[in-house]
Structure 1
Amino acid sequence: MGQLFEEDNVISRASDERDDVNVLVILGHPRNESFGGALAETYREGCVQAGVNVRSLAVSDLEFDPDVHTECPSDQPLEDDLVTAQRDIEWADHLVFVYPNWWGTMPAQLKGFFDRVFEPGFAFAEYEEGEGAGHVELLDDKTAELIVTMDMPPWVYRWVYRQPGTNALKRATLGYAGIETTRVTEIGPIEDSSLEERNEWLADVEELGRSLTTGPKSRATRARQRLTTWLGALRLQFYPMAWLAYTIGALAAADSSAVFSSPAYWLGLGFLCFLEAATVLTNEYFDYETDRENTFAGPFTGGSQVLVDNRVSFEEIRQGIALTLGLGGLFGIATVLTTAGSPIALSSAMVVLTALALGYTAPPLKLSYRTLGEATVAWTHSIGVLMIGFLVIGGSWHVPEPWLLGVPFLLSVLPSITLAGVPDYAADRAAGKQTIAVRFGLAGVRAVAMGTALLAALVGLVWYGRGVASHAYGPVISLSLGHALALCWLIHRRLDGTAGSQRIDGLMLASLSYISWFALIPLLGLL
């Protein structure tokens, strides 16, 4: 498997990191002798000076019908010039569109060019499968930039008119095909400009072409995107659940002033943060085959897709795992050395938590492949971290209070982690993962998700009625039963067919929000 990973990741992650960038300059002005034509030629000269491969295309020189006469654009045969244009676009890594802003958008001929050339099967592919209907971006290995001339000050176009043409091309056309627009240069007003101003604009555009020496993206843009990629890989949306459980455990052992003034509490929080990061990155690494086959990945399922999209390499993920584990280990040792409780009990709990968290996907445990993944996630994100918080502040592992606090929390996590197997069903099954969805189908998912949702609310009500865990649960916990019933109705209504992959983002959001009853209410009660 490791060798397969390396072979699959030989492809470069982005065109701006290649040694030989191919640039296609597309002039969208209907008159080649216009100032736009001069800008396109000047940009080309800058590219030549930068040493990149460059081709030019003038839309006005092409012979084609700009109107789509068939129901689907791909049903209308392409003229020879458009076939050549598609081949040039395929060749290019970076597309440069030079055109005037007319009536807030592009000239009609350029619009017709997009209508005909960016057809299904070339720029994108559509699919329909239940709620997962959508499209696949087919040109996502390319970048683009726009050079737009206008007869108004660019600031008026941007702030008064809100850039309708730029937004449409950048987001709805290029973006729909997966092309990332890295730079937009707006030039104007042109009509009343002086020769000196035009020469300055030409010099600026030539410099844009020369800047491709370091790639289509600036260093600042690459750094920002790199940071965004890693933040996406870390999947920070899942961290608060563990942090809340940890703090509940700490507050169960001491009052808030003692907890938040304790160095051990903050060091333990650092340990959990880096362990969560290492766990997420480990899942990315060992779940690559599953994530690669997953066409229903969303914000809550299917991983971050950073490996699948070649935005980071396997070596970088391994380095990230090593770094976060190392930092987690340092924070863990510091926590044990400063704890007010038993160092042996705390260190043992940390080792168990680490083994279960990493063992979710990592060998030899690979718990998610043995129908133990859902229970593992529920345990580690509830009772597991809650006990760490309790022990850090000086509590004892044989005191029942933290265990009781963790039970409804654990039960409330199970619906969401079980439902997460539905979008991943086909990919998990192909990879040999034995999730609840794969092993028991939608009937099993419904039974577990609905049963544990109701049980969490009922246990919370019992804990409130009996004054369990320092009265952490107040009367407001009774409202969780209504949420549980609504969630059960949604589950029954949404998952009423045979097992299969499908997008259930709304249902996932409803199940994840359900956890807040058993995180926020005891937290506020203990505070």
Structure 2
Amino acid sequence: MDDSREGRPRKILVILGHPRRESFCGALAGAYLEGAGSAGHQARRLDLADLAFDPDVRMPSPRDQGLEPDLARAQALILWADHLVFVYPAWWGTLPALLKGFLDRVLTPGFAFAADEADPSAWAKLLKGRSAHLLVTMDTPPWVYRFVYRQPGHQAMRRATLGFCGIGPTFISTFGPVLSSSPEQRAGWLEGVRREPLRLADRLRRDAVRRRAGAWLRLLRLQFYPMAWVAYTIGALLAWRHGGTFSPQVYWLGYLCLFLMEALTVLSNEWFDQGTDRLNHHAGPFNGGSRVLVEGELAPGSVRRAMLGLTLLLGLALAVLAALPGPAGPGPMAMLALAVLAVGYTAPPLKLSYRGLGELDVGLTHSFAAILCGGLLQSGVWRDPHLWLIGAPLFFATVAAITLSALPDHEADRMVAKRTLAVLLGRRGAALTALGFVAVAAICGVVWQQRGLFGGRSGLAVFLAIPHGLLLVRAIWRYLRRGAPCERINGIMVLALTYLLWFGIIPLAGLS
């Protein structure tokens, strides 16, 4: 849908899915059509009860079963429309058989979606650009349908059917219980439906704002920021404990710099990794980027402007940090070096992930470098051995996680010459390398405890990381026994990312 034209008159197809035209659903369909005409929209009505078609798919694929003339006309109407209104009762919690059979026959491969035969988990949504509204009647109280039954029919239509084909947003209006409703209540429902077409432009505008905000949030990938903050805070607390002068002003301004460089890094990764992201059939919550750019959810120009804005803000924040009187010392220069390393993961001229140095870069920037910046800003010294001891297990656990995250991206990365460890060593070699990093991180944690780096419960908590590490090793080993396939490994990634938390939270608790 062209979001800039949401206020234009729309072509609306009202589909009555009730098997009886003379029903309250039929009255709702008529009310919507009347309102659409008054609002200046083009509207047509399709009553499924009047169509002659076989509702059963009798061939191995719906595409192999010839369409009856009425179904061919229905497909043409769906292509004509840019807003679909389905009016039907919720029977046994879901759709009437007539509407279900209609959808089975009409939403065929090649018309509603295109399957990827090489990858069954990937498909093209062919009905994008259309929105929908479900007008659903029921005799169940709507709150029972929502909170007790969990809206099975709504979920099936909005997500598994219309959403699968690219139709969205889908708005839902529920009317019930109809059986016990009064004539006045039904008249009010009809009047509300009559006004719905007048509200369509506002509904679409609000949804567009919500979707854009959601796209920006997904693009920023805020879920990956906390560990950099933990490492930075560890450095600040360590310097304070070892004689530094803690300045809250310097601490928060330094963290602002860290946050801005993290955001800039994420956006630059999305921008410069578009080639591999477009080829990636195994993208997930922990790999393959947010896919906001490659799926066209945000305009490239807006992302470029955001990157420029973040760069300017980061430069300004670093300048203010350097100009502050107090304990910052060489911290601003360390922050600048950290920014160059972080953004250089994919951005030219460094493009470290394309030179075989990406995993090392992420490990350093999320452990030693962030700890060092936090410490130097609070009059810490880089020669403090505690800084390096505390950063070691966090470094190895982070490298293990980033190495594993590239396994599902292996095929796409290889095609664009991105030199991750998965590409350089193969999936099996990279998984074995990650397994070794997991073990080294645990060994470093035991060294913490043996050297008395953290006392009390914080020190003993290191031993809780060992069984967690063993679970991760077991999961990696099972992946290897399956032949190290190029597929999503969400379960392994959850274990890997929570494993590295131990080596950030334990020092943070011990120094607080």
In the superposition, the TM-score normalised over structure 2's length comes to 0.90
Letter in 1 for 2:220: L
Residue correspondence of structure 1 range 156-235 to structure 2 within 5 A: 157-159=145-147, 162-191=150-179, 196-214=184-202, 217-219=204-206, 221-235=207-221
Kindly state the Cα deviation for residue 194 of structure 1 after the two structures are TM-superposed: 5.6
Cα 1:466/1:61, change in 2 over 3 Å:
same
SS in 2 for 1:422: coil
1:259 and 1:162 map into 2 onto residues whose CA distance is 55
Moved more, 426-435 or 494-503: 494-503
Whether 1:144 aligns to 2:129 is no
Question: Residues 449 and 337 from structure 1, CA distance in 2 versus in 1: closer, same or farther, beyond 3 angstroms?
Answer: same
Paired amino acid for 1:113: F
SS in 2 for 1:85: helix
For 1:443 and 1:158, how far apart are their aligned partners in 2?
A: 46
Deviations 1:13-67 (A, max 9, x none): 6597485644322111223343323322332333344444433322112211112
Task: Answer with 387-396 or 95-104: which moved more.
Answer: 95-104
Deviates more, 1:94-103 or 1:492-501: 492-501
Q: Which deviates more, 154-163 or 267-276?
A: 154-163
Distance 1:113 1:439 in 2: 51
What is the aligned partner in structure 2 of residue 401 from structure 1?
386
The residue that corresponds to 2:26 in the other structure is 37
1:319 corresponds to 2:308: no
| 1:280 corresponds to 2:266 | yes
Residue matched to 2:278: 292
Q: Amino acid of the residue matched to residue 418 of structure 1?
A: T
- Of 72-81 and 273-282, the range deviating more from structure 2: 72-81
Equivalent residues of 2:3, 2:208 under 8 A apart: no
Tell me the equivalent position of 2:489: 504
342, 353, 369: which one aligns with 1:384: 369
- 2:46 equivalent to 1:60: no
Number of the residue aligned with 1:417 = 402
Q: Structure 2 vs 1, CA of residues 416 and 159 (structure 1 numbering), >3 Å: closer, same or farther?
A: closer
> For 1:87 and 1:120, how far apart are their aligned partners in 2?
15
Report SS of the residue matched to 1:428: helix
Q: Deviations over 1:73-117 (max 9, x none)?
A: 344333232233223323433221011233433322112112222
Answering whether residue 121 of structure 2 is matched by residue 134 of structure 1, we say yes
Partner of 2:459: 474
Corresponding letter in the other structure for 1:101:
A
Partner of 2:322: 336
Which residue pairs with 2:289 in the alignment?
Answer: 303
Q: Which amino acid aligns with 1:495?
A: L
- State the alpha-carbon separation in 1 of the partners of residues 442 and 287 from structure 2: 25
2:461 partner SS: helix
| Alpha-carbon distance between aligned partners in 2 of 1:102 and 1:298, rounded to the nearest angstrom | 35
Q: Is 2:271 aligned against 1:271? A: no
* Alpha-carbon offset, residue 128 of structure 1: 7.7
Q: Structure 1 residues 155 and 16, CA, compared in 2 at 3 Å: closer, same or farther?
A: farther
Looking at structure 2, the residues matched to 13 and 305 of structure 1 have their Cα atoms a distance apart, in angstroms, of: 19
Alignment of 1:354-393 (within 5 A): 354-393=339-378
**More off after superposition, 119-128 vs 455-464:** 119-128
AA aligned opposite 2:104: D
Q: Which runs of 5+ in 2 are unaligned?
A: none
Inter-CA distance 448–473: structure 2 relative to 1 (3 Å threshold): farther
Report the equivalent of 1:4: none
Q: Indicate if the aligned counterparts of 2:264 and 2:311 stay in contact, CA closer than 8 A.
A: yes
In the aligned structure 1, how far is the partner of 2:356 from the partner of 2:228? 22
Distance in 1, Cα, partners of 2:427 & 2:182: 70
Q: Secondary structure of the residue that 1:217 maps to in structure 2? A: helix
CA distance in 2, matches of 1:353, 1:199: 65
Give ranges in structure 1 of 5+ residues lacking alignment. 1-11
Rounded Cα–Cα distance in structure 1 between residues aligned with 2:502 and 2:201? 54
Q: Kindly indicate whether residue 478 of structure 2 is the aligned counterpart of residue 490 of structure 1.
A: no
RMSD value, Cα:
3.0
Distance 1:382 1:38, change over 3 A: same
Q: CA separation in 2, counterparts of 1:135 and 1:477? A: 42
TM-score by length of 1: 0.87
2-structure distance, mates of 1:509, 1:259: 38
Q: Is the 8 A contact 2:247 2:327 kept in 1?
A: no
Correspondence for 2:503: 518
Q: Structure 2 counterpart of 1:444, which letter?
A: G
Match of 1:28 among 3, 14, 17: 17
C-alpha change, 1:204 and 1:482, in structure 2 (3 Å) is: closer
- CA distance in 2 between partners of 1:256 and 1:118 (Å): 68
The answer on whether the counterparts of 1:89 and 1:95 sit within 8 Å (CA) in structure 2 is: yes
Corresponding residue SS for 1:363:
coil
The answer as to whether partners of 2:322 and 2:332 remain within 8 angstroms in 1 is: yes
Counterpart for residue 66 of structure 2: 77
CA distance in 2 between partners of 1:259 and 1:190 (Å): 70
- How far off is 1:494 after superposition? 0.3
Q: CA deviation at 1:334?
A: 3.5
C-alpha change, 1:189 and 1:487, in structure 2 (3 Å) is closer
In structure 1, how many angstroms separate the alpha carbons of the residues matched to 2:208 and 2:265?
26
Which amino acid letter does the alignment assign opposite residue 286 of structure 1? F
State percent identity of aligned pairs: 48
1:15 to 1:43, Cα distance in 2 relative to 1, 3 A: farther
Give the SS at the match of 1:515: helix
> 1:256-292 deviations in whole A, cap 9, x for unaligned?
9998862211221222112111111111111112111
1:259–1:521 Cα change, 3 Å:
farther
CA distance in 1, matches of 2:131, 2:120: 26
CA contact (8 A) 1:28 1:109 kept: yes
Task: Give the direction of change, closer, same or farther, for the CA distance of 1:104–1:412 in structure 2 (3 Å limit).
Answer: closer
2:338 is matched with: 353
Residues in 2 aligned to 1:156 and 1:420: alpha-carbon distance in whole angstroms:
42
User: What is the CA-CA distance between 1:240 and the residue it aligns to?
Assistant: 0.9
Q: How big is the shift at 1:146?
A: 0.6
Counterpart Cα distance in 2 of 1:481 and 1:190: 59
Choose 399-408 or 493-502, whichever is displaced more: 493-502
Q: Over residues 214-250 of structure 1, what are the superposed CA-to-partner deviations in whole Å (9 max), with x where a residue is unaligned?
A: 5x5252x333332222111111111011011111111
Matching residue within 454, 459, 478 for 2:444: 459
